[in-house]
Amino acid sequence: MSNASVPVGIIMGSQSDWPTMKEAADMLDALGIPYEAKIVSAHRTPDRLWEYGKTAVDRGLQVIIAGAGGAAHLPGMMASKTRVPVIGVPVQTKALSGVDSLYSILQMPRGFPVATMAIGAAGAANAGLMAAGILALQDSDLAARLDTWRAELSASIPQEPTND
């Protein structure tokens, strides 16, 4: 797993998280930000998690977006292994609607933060935007693209409701 020199790593606990996490990937695509996407699980593939976190800085990752559902320990465990900022995405679950994922990711102990997004697809899309905002601090071309994206979204919001 030492093939990438991309700024953003998207990781998720399972293939089943991809429909949610693809929202983050789509946002990065829309803003022209390279990324890698990997399945990494603290529970099922702890050695993969360890290796990913250990090599993240040397591989040039600047932000990690980590999504998981249920007992969602992946984002926090990744934050414990690397100083690369971790943005957590609570994946929606059937049993507890993603509140389990949210609480698992949100309540980190002092010293090892995870920037936690909202549950589900909107949270994943916002994770992409959050990563873009972080990278834009050092990249004026990206900053301009992000400003344009935000202005276009604002302009698309109607001023009055319709009955359609």
Ligand X SMILES: Nc1c(C(=O)O)ncn1[C@@H]1O[C@H](COP(=O)(O)O)[C@@H](O)[C@H]1O
Non-local CB neighbours of 50 within 8 Å, separated by 6+ positions: 81
Q: How far is the CB of 34 from ligand X (least distance, A)?
A: 24
User: Torsion over CA of 46, 113, 91 and 68, rounded to 10 degrees?
Assistant: 0
Q: How far is the CB of 15 from ligand X (least distance, A)?
A: 6
Angle at 116 between CA 111 and CA 121, to 5 degrees: 160
**From candidates 31, 63, 64, 91, binder to ligand X by CB under 6 A:** 91
**From candidates 7, 53, 70, 128, binder to ligand X by CB under 6 A:** 70
23 interacts with ligand X by CB under 6 A? no
- Position of tokens 């293939």? 15
- Interface with ligand X by CB under 6 A: which range of 11-19, 56-64, 118-126, 143-151? 11-19
42 interacts with ligand X by CB under 6 A? yes
81 interacts with ligand X by CB under 6 A? no
E-strand ranges in 13-155 read 35-39, 63-69, 86-91, 115-116
- Per CB under 6 A, residues contacting ligand X are 12-14, 16-17, 41-44, 68-74, 91
